[in-house]
Structure 1
Amino acid sequence: MNISPIWLKTFCTVCDSGSFTRAADRLGLTQAAVSQHIKHIEHVVGPVFLRQGRKIELMPAGRALLHYAAEVDAAAHRLARRASPDQSHAGAVKIATPGSSGLGIYAALLDLQGRHRDIAIHHRFAPTDDIIDAVLDNKVELGVVTQRPDDPRLRAEKIGIEPLELILPAGVKITEYQDLVEIGFIDHPDGPSMATRLLGQVFREFSGVKSIPCHGFSNQITLILEPVARGLGFTILPAFARKAFRDQSKITVYDHDPKVFDTLYVISRAEWPLSALAGTIVNEIRTVISAKQA
């Protein structure tokens, strides 16, 4: 099978963007050039996309080609790591973290980059499921997640724990579960899973987050506590995120028992060894998580 790496890159970009037009923009090509690359591929393997208006869907040959592209990328990673000199403080690394612990992790990695200017950190915040997908799809080399994935393609290493907190508007007191229902929930991307883990441990009456009125939603980690501070509801967040909020006087943490913790794992693809730089990054993450727990 003779498929040009340029065609393969175009195919993967179309898959990732979901559009010939967006793929052309990302690649700096014309849409006609993108279509031509795909035609070359289809001449080799057969139809790869089912086109329905503006929507495209992978056909069986397309799914097989996407799997082949991942194998090529994995082989390239292995070759680069075996052929390149050991550079533990130079190069680029892509990493995704939860918004909570990621606030401290990203700041620490920027400090590391400041000390070693040959390092380039490419970081993004995302929910756990999206981080796992990003590592599997080779969009990031490292991910920090709050659950150990069971996919054999991933390695996972425990790096610490992060306490979950029930956060209320300042001055608000609760004596029973019904008080929470009346206050209402401020949701966020990890809100339902965090609320289920904490409220299920603390309140016997809890029957699911859908039983609590939702009074708002934010996907920006630095803004989730804004409606709580304004008295509009409560939320569940890791202590790392709560401590980063700008005005602690406007929120309060409910003192509950038992305490609830999430375990943090750093994940990467299991098929190839970590680069020396990725090993440095993992050690830096472990250090910052340990410092926050002290």
Structure 2
Amino acid sequence: MINPLWSRSLLALEKAGSFTRAAQALDLTQAAVSQHIRQLEDRFGAVVLRRSRALEWTPVGLALLDHARELEAAELRLAARLVGQDVLAGDVEVVTPGSVGLLLNPLLLDLQEREPGLVIRHRFAPDAGVVEDVAANRADFGIASIRPDDPRLAATPFLEEPLELIVPVNEVAESWEDLRRIGMIDHPDGKAMATRLLSRRFGGNPGVRHLPVRGFSNQVGLILEPVARGLGFTVLPRYARQAFAKQDRICVVECGTPVVDTLWLLHRAEWPLPARARHVVEHLRRSLGLPTDMAL
């Protein structure tokens, strides 16, 4: 590994054209700059030929200059990343559950279209996966419907999302027997969501496990397709229903007092949210009409 001080002296010598001016630029003595170049020459061979009027760079010297420039560029990129200057370029890792992800993904694409230097990597995961990814630094931030009890994670309220009972457009769901007749389109969180919501609308019911299951999908964008085809009902968060293209083929059943989940913005608590990621969060909040002055 080359001493960074030697590389700095090499670049200063190239720019200044003489050992005296290079030393002045670096606020070093001429002897110190000469010693740095001598260290390089002891290791790699002749670096520069000292002519009476100008310096002449050897092939070894030119190769070392290229390497020094690469190191300098890498340090500048690192500095920009650490101090948050480069907010419009670079990668941002985002992880969300499927439902709110369907709402946010077009907004993320809008931002990347406007600012192509950003590379936004948006992954869908269940709540537990969101928490795990953020805690393990696999995502800059995530959104989950649970507030984790983990001191490594900061959680800020982001959105609220009600659960909805959704049936085929021509169906009636006025009783528990109607739900038994229609049957359920299940999904990974289907029974848990249905249990929470249906107790509001159908008190004293025997339990979701007694309802016939007519289908299952683990893809949030596909769960409502069998409902639209009349094959069953389902319970989903509102944002998943709103993202479905065939709104004229489904119907939301009023279930009384809403069951509302708070969606939490999660990031590591030990350090501030990176500037690029904060820029993305602020864009999402503006797009959704939410306050943008919350501390992160």
Give the TM-score normalised by structure 2: 0.67
Mapping of 1:267-286 within 5 angstroms?
267-286=266-285
Tell me which amino acid in the other structure corresponds to 1:150.
Answer: D
Matches of 1:223 and 1:85, distance apart in 2: 39
Deviation at 1:85, TM superposition (A): 4.1
Matches of 1:214 and 1:129, distance apart in 2: 25
Mapping of 1:1-294 within 5 angstroms?
83-290=82-289
Change (3 A) 1:161 1:85: closer
Change (3 A) 1:263 1:83: closer
Tell me which amino acid in the other structure corresponds to 2:276.
Answer: L
Change (3 A) 1:203 1:230: same
The structure having more radius of gyration, on CA atoms, is 2
Query: How many corresponding residue pairs?
Result: 213
Tell me which amino acid in the other structure corresponds to 1:94.
Answer: E
8 Å CA contact retained: 2:140, 2:274? no
Provide structure 1 residue ranges, at least 5 long, that are not aligned to the other structure: 1-78
1:80-120 C-alpha deviation (Å, 9 max, x unpaired): 78844423322211111111111121110111111111110
The share of aligned pairs that are identical, in percent, is 48
Deviation at 1:199, TM superposition (A): 1.5
Deviation at 1:259, TM superposition (A): 1.9
8 Å CA contact retained: 2:97, 2:144? yes
Equivalent position of 2:59 in the other structure: none
Tell me which amino acid in the other structure corresponds to 2:87.
Answer: S
Equivalent position of 2:65 in the other structure: none
Matches of 1:85 and 1:247, distance apart in 2: 43
Tell me which amino acid in the other structure corresponds to 1:168.
Answer: V
Tell me which amino acid in the other structure corresponds to 1:270.
Answer: A
Deviation at 1:194, TM superposition (A): 1.9
Moved over 4 A (4+): 79-82
Equivalent position of 2:294 in the other structure: none
Change (3 A) 1:160 1:259: same
Matches of 2:288 and 2:226, distance apart in 1: 27
8 Å CA contact retained: 1:146, 1:263? yes
Tell me which amino acid in the other structure corresponds to 1:155.
Answer: A
- Bigger mean CA deviation after superposition, 81-90 or 254-263: 81-90
Matches of 2:133 and 2:210, distance apart in 1: 32
Q: Give the match's secondary structure for 1:156.
A: strand
